[in-house]
Amino acid sequence: MSVLIIMFPGWQEIPQDLYGEALEQVSHFIDAGIAKSGKESPATMDWDKDAPIIIPAVNRVLGKEIRAMEYLHWWTFVAAYMEIGRSLFSSVVSIRKKRLDGEKLDDEEKKFFRENRELIELKQERSEEEKEFLSKLIGKKVR
């Protein structure tokens, strides 16, 4: 329900039987209209944890400090996020992905991992509150 309150200023006017559709539309908006593959895979990033390394990368793509902007449409942010090239963030995600896939890290990546373990490792468990919120948001049970 809280996602409806946040995303729809007139949420009280939405008939209850359309809440499911409204949540689907929220999901569509958050995903920037990009269809999901349907296959659930382990996370290689975390918005909260990675914000300090995502923002500089997005700033570089857009050529401005996004935190100083009065308005930035979510889809513009997502488009810039998807264009992040070589950066600290992309290095961190690459190492996470290799570790999840059981691939060997090269010597430079191993050294980087040892020196930045806290930055790279993601917590594995979601709180019950997070699971419930995400389940409502995407319309299916989240582990």
Q: Where are the domains of the chain?
A: 1-38+126-143, 44-121
Residue of 93, 74, 85 lying closest to 33 (CA atoms)? 74
86: its two tokens:
């070589």
Where residue 6 falls among pLDDT bands split at 50, 70, 90?
Answer: confident
Residue 119's Cα: distance from chain center in Å? 16
pLDDT digits (tens, 9 = 90+) for 15-54: 888 888 888 888 878 776 777 766 667 788 888 899 999 9
52: its two tokens:
């300090």
Q: What is the pLDDT of residue 143?
A: 62
CA angle (112 as vertex; 106, 115 as ends), nearest 5: 140
Q: Give, in order, the Cα–Cα distances in Å from 32 to each of 14, 25, 80, 88, 90.
A: 22, 10, 12, 24, 20
Q: What is the pLDDT of residue 125?
A: 66
Q: Is the pTM of this model over 0.85?
A: no
Tell me the average pLDDT across 7-18: 85
Burial of 11 (0-12, 13-18, 19+ CB in 10 A): middle
CA dihedral sign, ordered 26, 73, 33, 99:
negative
